[in-house]
Structure 1
Amino acid sequence: MDRLQPEFKAEIRRIVGEGNFKDGEAISTIDHGVAPENLGARAVVFPGTSDEVAAVVKCSRASGVPLVAQGGRTGLVGGAISRPGELVLSTARLNRILRISPIERVAVVEAGVTLQALQVAAAEHRLETGIDLPSRGSATIGGMASTNAGGIAAFRFGVMRHRILGLEAVLADGSIYSDMTRVVKNAAGYDLKHLFVGAEGTLGIITRIAVKLEPRPAATATVLFGLPSVDAALETVRRGLDAEYGHLRAAEAIWNAFFRLTSGHHRWAATDYDADHSVNLLVSLGGAEEGALQSELGRIFEDVIEDHPDASAVIASSVAQEADLWRLREDTDLIYRKHPSAPSYDVSVPLSEIESYLVRCLAGLRNVDAALDPYVFGHLADGNLHIVLNAAGIDVLPEKAKAIEAVLYRDLNAIGGSFSAEHGIGATRVRSLLNTADPAKLALMHRIKETVDPAEIFNRGKVLSDLGRKYAEC
């Protein structure tokens, strides 16, 4: 039975205004983001205030209509997919930057503000967000909070959980939880905002956030190193952390298969740079003066050459060259154009274990299928690796997918890693969570969900499942 009855739709339109509810054919005008299934519900509401969000939640609960909150629809694990009979709640109209204080170094924003919009606004005050993602133009602050996004600068400034000072969220009964704290020190009882950060919209709908900002360096400089091994790359990262001038802003590793793909597509090459290195490492420094930063990168390369005479390096001498180097790392869409819906994996590995982990996993993948030669890239300074198969999703049948996960996730917990570094659980990693999580953790997660959202109004079937509940109760 369709839960979205005419009376329900009329009430939703009354709450948000006629033009802020779309269903049926009108959905075709909305960008579905990374997956068409995001708009599977065929009904989207666009509230413009926290009170409107609360009213929509109350109406949905009264009518038994499940809600799926959506931001920029950039998630890669199906956390925003929706189904017929559900209602998508978009934060697109909650797009106001309410306050930026250069003295406090804090921004207060609504959930639908994009990362790029906040970056631009913060830059006017010589500040930055302390977090960056390739999808900055569409990823929203609310969505990033809901998934506990990480990104390029996590090793220095932390993930979203560390960037958020306070937040507001609408609960499943339509009440509004408001803790808009703008200070770092706050020991006033349970810090409940952390329930919503990383919960992927299953415990509440985030509507406002107080975000900690960082001073923006006056200048940056970037170098691309070509290195013989992971250990050599980690040594280079350490040199960047110990820089005599400036500070390390990014250390992004690009393994050979992905580097060949992006450099070939963009026809990138440089004199004296060998394109066949095992690992290519983008290092960015920030500081007061670009020339001094470039000199520091040159000094680091001299140290690298002493230990690894076959290493290569290209130091960007302009903003355009810097952008060209970053394109080699950030143009991940090339993979999906070549291999539609290629399965991707997002793991965290302790730095000392990365080399052995990759050797073990790449050999294991070849045992599953000799043709598997995945694209590997990631945030080397914090151990977050992205592994994308060189295979279209349609060609990876369930049994093969299960075997691949067994290879990639085996022993991750034992060595202190995580099978989900920054993409979350969503709909596609629920069983992986079930198979790897501590039973007591699963049981506690279910108790929290049942307490906060007993009717399962929010993002039903994501992160947790009935199967997981039965397992946790054993």
Structure 2
Amino acid sequence: MTSLLDELTQAVGPAHVLTGNAIPPQHCTDWFNAHTHQPLALVRPGTPDEVARVMAICHRHGQPVTPQGGLTGLVAGATPNEGDVALSLARLNGVEEIDTAAGTLTVLAGTPLQTAQEAARAAGLLLAVDLGARGSCQVGGNIATNAGGNRVIRYGMFRDQVLGLEAVLADGSVVGGLNKMLKNNAGYDLKHLFIGSEGTLGIVTRAVLRLHPLPQSCHTAWCTLPDHDTVVRFLRHAQAALGGTVSAFEVMWPDFHELVTTRVPDMRSPVAAQGLQVLIEMEGSDTERDMPMFSAMLEAAFEQGWLLDAAIAQSLKERESFWRLRDAVSEFPLMWSPYCGYDVSLPIGDLGRFVDELQAALRARFPHCEHVHFGHVGDSNIHVGVHVAAAHGPFPEAEIDACVYGVLRRYGGSVSAEHGIGQHKKAYLGHSRTPQELALMHTLKRALDPHKLLNPGKVLA
């Protein structure tokens, strides 16, 4: 063990190999503080070459490694096991190049998403994926988990932003493919082995991200609709009327809206009507043209009887207040402790029935529970939060999991829409993947990491 630590220290410098109480607590646990283990060491390489040297050393010693990004994940995907080496990518920080001709940004994996966004914006371009954790999450972690967020309905998942990447394999070898071309069919597209693999097949160290034209206008409305079927009709109407410029379509069920507006301080609804709440946003290229188009779309929806109420943001401050209401999910850990949060997806047309059935199942199984349902919906993603007060006995996490995933399985949905599998969901991966798919995943793992050193215990049981 001393030999291993000595070699790691030689590879990255003594200031960047921490052990024992010198390891900051956040590197030992997950976002919910549900799992806490003491890693053998926290190693902080500063270059992709140092990552490769660290992995080569650990491979030679048979030492398991847990890669860590911004530590904003919700499924314990970056939580080390006892005795693992935790490998932080935080020092791999910086935008290396913006190519305005190619419309690309080359970035190191430890760069915060917001830093990359701001660099693109300074060049007059848009890095399209956006998450609430933008200031803390890192690009490498976003790639490793195939992050989603608020703009997926228009721009796709993080996978759709990656043109090329560089990754370090379990034995320290480097796979480099910093492609800048949108069209490149020269054999297997190897980047997809690492996007969404949660650091179990390789560690992303660099990436080339696709950029888009920077929107010149943004218009936002908060609407109330009577039911989910009407929400779907409104979504398709808006997409047709606005010519593909709908960039966000966030839906909040009444349980979410009531909890947030009555329990979160200084949170007020923009509308008075009760029902399903929708935050819709369009991003366009011509303010003078886009605002009348946006208003006409809403007026047509009123004429169809789809909207019970609506408010259009008249200023940046009002737009931010709409989003603050939607993003009040960050308050749940303060109101509910403990609680279970779920990130699932299923066909858009089934979402309403799924929520109705799940709410009934939760109330039947846990009469004193509180729950919320909200999500992006336009990309088939819904989030569920469930709390059972301590006064009613030990927190029944396993029973709540079984209830939620049991209903989801009947609809053929995915147990993870955008947060990944990590440790929390791997017992339920078989609800969404066939035995043949799981067998192929194990084959890939054996081929790239035969000794199971990379992020052990995550994704696959």
Q: Distance in 2 between matches of 1:40 and 1:339?
A: 27
| Distance in 1, Cα, partners of 2:449 & 2:326 | 40
Offset, 1:88: 0.6
Kept after mapping to 2: 8 A contact 1:112/1:141: yes
Answer yes or no: is the 8 Å Cα contact 1:365–1:407 preserved in 2.
no
Question: Is residue 2:417 matched to residue 1:418?
Answer: no
Is the Cα contact below 8 Å between 2:167 and 2:174 reproduced in 1?
yes
Retained in 1: the 8 A contact 2:170–2:454?
Answer: yes
8 A Cα contact 1:202 1:449, kept in partner: yes
Q: Please state if 1:299 is matched with 2:296.
A: yes
* Structure 1 unmatched runs, 5+: 466-474
- Alpha-carbon shift at residue 371 of structure 1 (Å): 2.6
Q: Does 1:364 align with 2:361?
A: yes
Q: Is the 8 A contact 2:4 2:57 kept in 1?
A: yes
What amino acid is aligned across from residue 178 of structure 2 in structure 1?
M
Structure 2 residue aligned with 1:454: 450
Q: Confirm or deny: 8 A CA contact 1:297 1:315 kept in the other structure.
A: no
State the number of aligned residues. 456
Residue 178 of structure 2 aligns with which residue?
180
Q: Quickly say closer, same or farther: Cα 1:293–1:433, change in 2 above 3 A.
A: same
Give, in whole Å, the separation in 2 of the partners of 1:46 and 1:8.
Answer: 15
1:22 to 15, 18, 22: 18
* CA shift for structure 1 position 132: 1.0
Q: What are the superposed Cα offsets for residues 66-104 of structure 1, whole Å, 9 maximum, x if unpaired?
A: 100011111111101112210110110111111111221
Q: Which moved more, 1:388-397 or 1:60-69?
A: 388-397
How big is the alpha-carbon RMSD for the aligned residues of Structure 1 and Structure 2? 2.1
After TM superposition, the score normalised by the length of structure 2 is 0.93
Deviation at 1:309, TM superposition (A): 7.1
Structure 1 residue 361: deviation in Å?
A: 1.8
2:427 corresponds to which of 428, 431, 434: 431
Identify the range of structure 1 (423-432 vs 235-244) with the bigger mean alpha-carbon deviation: 235-244
Segment of structure 1 superposing worse, 355-364 or 378-387? 355-364
Which residue pairs with 1:209 in the alignment?
A: 207
**What is the rounded CA distance, in whole Å, between the counterparts of 1:390 and 1:30 in structure 2?**
24
**C-alpha distance 204-307 of structure 1, shift in aligned 2 (>3 A):** same
Between 436-445 and 234-243, the greater mean CA deviation after superposition: 234-243
Q: Deviations over 1:187-244 (max 9, x none)?
A: 1111111111111000111101111111111121111001111122222222221235
- The residue identity in structure 2 corresponding to 1:313 is A
Separation (CA, whole Å) in 2 of partners of 1:29 and 1:360: 40
Alpha-carbon shift at residue 25 of structure 1 (Å): 1.6
Q: Letter of the aligned partner of 1:220 in structure 2?
A: C
Moved more, 313-322 or 20-29: 20-29
| CA deviation profile, 1:10-41 (whole Å, cap 9, x unmatched) | 21111111111222121237676624446631
What SS does the corresponding residue of 1:332 show, helix, strand or coil?
helix
TM-score scaled by structure 1?
0.91
Cα distance in 2 for residues equivalent to 1:26 and 1:35: 22
Q: For residues 389 and 39 of structure 1, do their structure 2 counterparts lie closer, same or farther at Cα, with a shift above 3 Å needed?
A: same
1:461–1:310 distance in 2 versus 1, CA, 3 Å: closer
Residues 280-319 of structure 1 deviation map (CA, whole Å, 9 limit, x = unaligned): 1011111234454343332222222223376111111111
Call closer, same or farther: CA 1:376–1:405 in 2, change over 3 Å.
closer
- CA-CA distance at 1:392 after TM superposition: 6.1
- Secondary structure of the residue that 2:107 maps to in structure 1? strand
Identity between Structure 1 and Structure 2 (%)? 35
8 Å CA contact retained: 2:350, 2:411: no
Q: CA deviation at 1:261?
A: 2.8
Aligned to 1:111: 109
Letter of the aligned partner of 1:188 in structure 2? A
Which residue in 1 is equivalent to 2:339?
342
1:353 aligns with 2:350: yes
Partner residue in 1 for 2:256: 258
CA apart distance, 1:453:
0.4
Q: Which residue is equivalent to 1:144?
A: 142
Residue 343 of structure 1 deviates from its aligned partner by 0.9
Contact 1:91 1:111 in 2 (8 A): yes
- Say whether 1:167 aligns with 2:170: no
Aligned match for 2:31, one of 14, 22, 34: 34
